[in-house]
């Protein structure tokens, strides 16, 4: 008879031995997991060190550089120069200090002869500034070229610029031609307006972006043209921009549905102190249809021309009324010359009242003795000199601060 008791004891021995071995293996695995990966808690393999952010040249003009190793939104640092905000009287000072705000009045003046040629080489002593009949003393004087900040303001409505019409083509042609005259250091913004202004491109030095922005001018929307509203909005955009700035306005000069009046628009133009170079569109179309237009239409266009002339003259710019395509090269060359070749004059008014009233300013050209300046051309003939500048400025509002 077989011995089952011995076999049973042997099987039980191997069974418990297997359980013990499994327990030891599982315990070792749990201990290993609790200790984490090898290398003092650092990942195994090749460790790539974090790169330091490249050092930027503060004078270089370029877009934002992302910070390495982080996902951040970096605001754009480029753009036209901005004016420094004035501190309030006594701000950041001791309680017993005296704060005096001095307002420097800046004027850009173009000096030309009777043929419209720029007269260079004048000195500070050749300018006499008169404010409301009172002579002023020039504090600053400069004549030099600097980067321009220009807003190209384009009328683009369905009344006159329907797609593929003559005025539609002329508007685009003028816009593209003006962009081609700018230099690489100039800043440009493009705004089109009909019922309301639309920013096609914010301030940029990229001519490629400008071409793309003008490419959007294909199908006009509304038939209304709110010129006064568009000018007021553009003046607001330029009020904090420092340096040389200008508005190149391409328009018929007609306004049909603005929220503000002509007088209010004129006040905003004088307050803005930005020269407007107005280029009229549709002169050839009007010439071709001169006999077909009634007296009311003729009067509307004459008023439109007068508005462009007044906006330009009172701001220190100039109005142009081209009829033919061949006039554009010389016209935009004249615009570029006037924008860049200007005398910058600065003075502190003897009228210390901050009443917010408009003050008329007249600029005379004088010689060393204070007599009217006389210049002659190469043939020895006297030149008729003319100073082109804004008609005046609005005094600041407030009181003289003495703490």
Helix (H, G, I), strand (E, B), or coil: what is residue 56? coil
How many domains are there within the chain? 2
- Gap between the Cα atoms of 342 and 143, Å rounded: 6
Based on the number of CB atoms within 10 Å of its own CB, is 118 exposed (0-12), middle (13-18) or buried (19 or more)? middle
pLDDT band at 78 (very low <50, low <70, confident <90, very high): low
Residue 49 lies in a domain: no
Q: Which domain holds residue 169?
A: 148-340
Q: Sheet with 392-394: list strands edge to edge.
A: 134-136, 127-131, 358-365, 392-394
Based on the fold, state whether residues 211 and 303 are members of the same structural domain. yes
Q: What is the CA radius of gyration of the chain?
A: 36
Give the pairing type, strands 358-365 and 127-131: antiparallel
Residues 317 and 189 in one domain: yes
CA distances from 168 to 161, 173, 260 (A): 4, 9, 27
Same domain flag for 281 and 186:
yes
Same domain, 266 and 299: yes
Question: Is-contact 255 305, C-beta < 8 A?
Answer: no
Q: What mean pLDDT is reported for the chain?
A: 81
pLDDT at 402: 39
| Least-confidence region, from 58-67, 132-141, 293-302 | 58-67
Per residue in 153-208, pLDDT tens? 999 999 989 999 999 999 999 999 999 999 999 999 999 999 999 999 999 999 99
Looking at the structure, do residues 264 and 324 belong to the same domain, yes or no? yes
- Mean pLDDT (whole number) for 228-245: 93
20 vs 203, residue with greater confidence:
203
Contact 401, 90 (CB under 8 A): yes
Do the domain assignments include residue 319? yes
Asked if residue 78 is part of any domain, the answer here is: no
What beta strand segments (E) does 119-160 contain?
A: 127-131, 134-136, 138-143, 148-155
Q: Give pTM, 2 decimals.
A: 0.73
Segment 283-303, tens digit of pLDDT: 988 888 888 888 888 899 999
Both 351 and 303 in one domain: the answer is no
Both 140 and 258 in a single domain? no
- If you search the block for the tokens 């009311």, which residue do you land on? 296
Q: How far apart are CA 344 and CA 216, in angstroms?
A: 37
246: helix, strand or coil? strand
Which residues 6+ apart lie within 8 Å of 98 measured at CB? Answer: 402, 403
Q: Is the pLDDT of residue 312 over 50?
A: yes
User: Residue 326: what are its φ and ψ, rounded to 5°?
Assistant: -65, -15
């Amino acid at each position: 008879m077989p011995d089952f008791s011995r076999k049973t004891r042997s099987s039980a021995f191997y069974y418990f031995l297997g359980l013990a071995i499994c327990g030891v293996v599982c315990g070792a695995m749990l201990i290993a997991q609790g200790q984490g990966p090898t290398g003092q808690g650092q990942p195994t393999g090749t460790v790539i060190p974090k790169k330091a952010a490249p050092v930027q040249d503060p004078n270089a003009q370029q877009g934002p550089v992302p910070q390495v190793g982080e996902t951040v939104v970096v605001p754009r640092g480029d753009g036209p120069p901005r004016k420094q905000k004035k501190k309030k009287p006594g701000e950041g000072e001791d309680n017993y200090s005296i704060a005096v705000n001095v307002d420097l009045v800046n004027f850009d003046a173009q000096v030309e002869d009777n043929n419209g040629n720029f007269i260079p080489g004048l000195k500070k002593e050749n300018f006499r500034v008169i404010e409301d009949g009172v002579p002023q003393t020039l504090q600053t004087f400069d004549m030099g070229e600097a980067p321009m900040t220009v807003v190209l303001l384009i009328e683009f409505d369905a009344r006159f610029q329907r797609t593929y019409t003559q005025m539609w083509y002329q508007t685009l042609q003028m816009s593209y031609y003006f962009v081609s005259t700018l230099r690489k250091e100039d800043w440009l913004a493009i705004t089109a307006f009909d019922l309301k202004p639309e920013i096609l491109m914010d301030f940029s030095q990229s001519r490629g972006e400008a071409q793309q922005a003008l490419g959007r001018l294909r199908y006009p929307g509304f038939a209304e043209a709110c010129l006064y509203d568009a000018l007021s909005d553009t003046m607001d955009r330029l009020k904090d921009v420092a340096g040389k700035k200008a508005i190149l306005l391409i328009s018929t000069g007609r306004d049909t549905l603005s929220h503000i009046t002509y007088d209010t628009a004129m006040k905003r133009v004088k307050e803005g102190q930005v020269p407007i170079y107005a280029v009229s569109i549709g002169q050839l179309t009007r010439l071709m249809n001169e006999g077909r237009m009634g007296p009311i239409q003729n009067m509307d266009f004459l008023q439109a021309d007068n508005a462009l002339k007044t906006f330009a003259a009172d701001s220190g710019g100039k109005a142009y009324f081209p009829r033919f395509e061949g006039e554009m090269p010389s016209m935009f060359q004249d615009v570029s010359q006037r924008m860049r070749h200007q005398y910058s004059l600065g003075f502190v008014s003897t009228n210390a009242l901050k009443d917010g009233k408009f003050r008329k300013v007249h600029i005379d050209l004088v010689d060393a003795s204070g007599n009217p300046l006389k210049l002659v051309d190469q043939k020895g003939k006297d030149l008729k000199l003319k100073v082109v500048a804004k008609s005046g400025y609005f005094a600041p509002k407030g009181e003289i601060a003495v703490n």
